[in-house]
A and B are shown apart, each in its own frame.
Chain A
Amino acid sequence: MAEYIFRVFRYDPEKDEGTRGRVQEYKIGVERGWTVLDALNYIKWHVDGSLAYRRACRHGICGSCGMTINGKNTIACEQQVADLGTQVVTVEPLRGFRVIKDLIVDMEPFYDKLYAIKPYLIAYSDPPTDKERLQSPEDRKLLDGKYECILCGCCTSSCPTYWADKEFLGPNALMKAARFAVDSRDEGWEERVNAIDDKHGVWRCHTIFNCVEACPKELNATRAIVELRRLMLKGRL
Chain B
Amino acid sequence: MKFPRTSGGFYAWLFQRLTGILLVILLIIHFAITHNLPKGGEVTYALVAPRLATATWKVFDLTFLVCALFHGLNGVWMVVQDYVHSETAQAWIFYALCTLGLVLLVLGAITVIPFKA
Contacts and interface: CB of A to CB of B under 8 A. Distances in A.
Direct A–B contact present (CB less than 8 angstroms): yes
Given A197-B7, A199-B5, A165 B85 contact: yes
B10 A236 contact: yes
Contacts, number: 36
B82 A164 contact: yes
A203 B85 contact: no
B110 to A, nearest CB: 34
Interface in A154-179: 161, 164-165, 167
A229 interface: yes
B83 A164 contact: yes
B81 interface: yes
Interface of A: 161, 164-165, 167, 196-204, 206, 229, 232-233, 236
Contacts of B62: none
Interface of B: 5, 7-10, 12-14, 78, 81-83, 85
B83 A203 contact: no
Contacts of B14: 233
B82 A203 contact: no
B10 A203 contact: yes
25 contacts: A161-B82, A164-B83, A165-B81, A165-B82, A165-B85, A167-B85, A197-B8, A197-B9, A197-B10, A198-B8, A199-B8, A199-B9, A200-B8, A201-B8, A201-B9, A202-B8, A203-B10, A203-B12, A204-B9, A204-B81, A204-B82, A206-B78, A229-B13, A232-B10, A233-B10
